[in-house]
Amino acid sequence: MNENWTAWPGERFALGEGLRRTGDRLIMVDILTGRLLVVPEDGEPRVLLTLAEPLGAVAPRPGGGWIAAAGTGIAILGDTGIEHWLARPEDGAATPMRMNDGVTDPYGRFWAGSMAYNNAPGAGSLYRADPDGTVTRVLGELTVPNGPAFDADGTTMYLADSARGVIHRFAVDPASGQLGGQTDFAVVEEGSPDGMTVDAEGFLWSAIWGAGQVRRYAPTGELDRVVNVPAVQPTSICVVGDRLVVTSATVGLAAPGALDGAVLSRAL
């Protein structure tokens, strides 16, 4: 049952992810093909640029262009691709690695996670790129980090470790970006928590890979709402006005359905 969802026309993405509202545009990535796309209000998603590296997520830079979790590190992108790398910390890792999801916090710091191609337990890390371009490894022993997502004042960060079915919550020092205490905010037993966003009321939305759902959690961690999605593997979520928009993926599905891999939208 579609439950009032509508799908954008055109391509069904292998690993559509990183859905973000940037100004008046909605953008996303298709990770394994290295593509950054804009999702128009009407018509098919349109490719803005293509990298020769997997592209996990991007965020706009104040002076133009993008900062990106790409390949084995964090890069600055221009109109045609990579201008320069800030750091490639996963180069030469014992297990082949790639960058995954990422987001900018309210203070302009870009946070992005890494993961092993074979999902090796504990091989992933979380990195922070400060506005001056310094890249710091802030967490290790992650498996498939997704998010992070920040509250409006940037003092709380949510980070999913999808393979372990848990969403962590951290206190954040807004002045320095240093992480404080870690707590387990929510545990997902059916499916895996994937991309996340915090809405205007301070509630956390998470796409639930493998369960065909998105879930909304109160700041207390209490499950507030479950919305079924007509795609088995929803990957990221964005609240746009009075609508939910969700990306999804076909990778790993033996027989994808008509809406698997689609960009989907419905009223809240």
CB atoms within 10 A of CB 40: 12
84-88, 178-182, 235-239, range with the lowest pLDDT: 178-182
**Is there a domain that residue 164 lies in?**
yes
Among the options 101, 161, 194, 260, which is catalytic?
194
In whole angstroms, give the CA distance from residue 28 to residue 21.
9
71, part of any domain? yes
Q: pTM here?
A: 0.96
Establish whether 91 is an annotated binding residue: no
Q: What is the pLDDT of residues 52-102, one digit of tens each?
A: 999 999 999 998 999 999 999 999 999 999 999 999 999 999 999 999 999
Integer CA distances (angstroms), 26 to 15, 30, 82, in order: 17, 14, 21
Four-CA torsion 17, 15, 159, 143, nearest 10 degrees: -160
| Tokens 């709402």 sit on residue | 225
Indicate if 42 belongs to the active site. no
DSSP string, 127-163: EEE-TTS-EEEEEEEESSEEEEEE-TTSSEEEEEEGG
CB distance 187 to 166 below 8 Å: yes
Q: Say if residue 17 carries a ligand binding annotation.
A: yes
- For residue 133, what are the domain limits? 6-267
In a domain, 209, yes or no: yes
Residue at 198 is within a domain: yes
Q: Kindly state whether residue 166 falls inside one of the protein's structural domains.
A: yes
Residue 1, in any domain of the structure: no
How many whole angstroms separate alpha carbon 28 and alpha carbon 32? 13
Tell me whether residue 223 is in a domain: yes
Q: Based on the structure, what is the number of domains in the chain? A: 1
The answer to whether the annotation marks 146 as part of a ligand binding site is yes
In percent, the amount of the chain with pLDDT more than 90 equals 96
194 annotated as ligand-binding? yes
Q: Is position 229 within any domain?
A: yes
Q: How far apart are CA 220 and CA 2, in angstroms?
A: 30
Here the CATH number for the domain that contains residue 178 is: 2.120.10.30
